[in-house]
Amino acid sequence: MILPIYTYGQPVLRERTIPIKEDSDELQGLIDDMIETMHNATGVGLAAPQVGRQERLFVIDLRGAAEEIAETNDGEIPFFAQEPLALINPEVIGIEEDAVMEFEEGCLSIPGIVEWVTRPERLRIRFKDRHFNEHELDADDILGRVFQHELDHLNGILFLDYLSPLKKRLLKRRLSDMANGAVEADYPLAPPGEMASAE
């Protein structure tokens, strides 16, 4: 089932999420729905708060970048780029502080806005997949980038928060319009209604 996506200004995007304790049919159904919703919106990642939920969970699909990822992995496509992946209770367990990379980021919850964001380039990450198998691996380049963006969603952080004060001023009008419900996308959005709060 395709779920409506919550957009900038809706409080659920600013709330912290709650660790997932155990597997359930409901959780598996939510994962399926989130993957379908991500595909419908042609996104590479989608976090639970973006569909109005508070589970510590996001899904990614890096198959579109599989060949690029393989180039830095001895020509082999790693498991995380072979199929859509659910990441449960994800965490960063190490950051190489002196290596950063700039990358253009967009967000399904902030349609139409793409900006350059600087983030750490190399991380060590840990998460459980949808079968509750634990993984610990080095995440650099594309995986590291998507992982950080989606993990931020689980902590109520949006990529806009990293922009310079000048950039934020330039976007202020568009964002306040968006928070007031002036937002369009070619995928279903959650109705703003009383959920919106100006930031």
- Known catalytic residues? 150
Please state, in angstroms and rounded to a whole number, the distance separating the CA atoms of residues 161 and 128. Answer: 27
Q: Which is nearer to Zn ion, 70 or 190 (CB)?
A: 190
Under the rule (CB under 5 A), what is the footprint of Zn ion?
A: 107
Least CB distance to Zn ion at residue 76 (A): 29
Identity of the residue numbered 43:
G
Q: Which is nearer to Zn ion, 31 or 41 (CB)?
A: 41
Q: Which is nearer to Zn ion, 81 or 107 (CB)?
A: 107
Least CB distance to Zn ion at residue 191 (A): 19
The C-alpha R_g of the chain, in whole angstroms, comes to 17
Contact 6, 110 (CB under 8 A): no
Q: Which is nearer to Zn ion, 70 or 185 (CB)?
A: 185
Please state, in angstroms and rounded to a whole number, the distance separating the CA atoms of residues 98 and 120. Answer: 8
Residue nearest to Zn ion (CB): 107
Least CB distance to Zn ion at residue 95 (A): 20
Least CB distance to Zn ion at residue 149 (A): 6
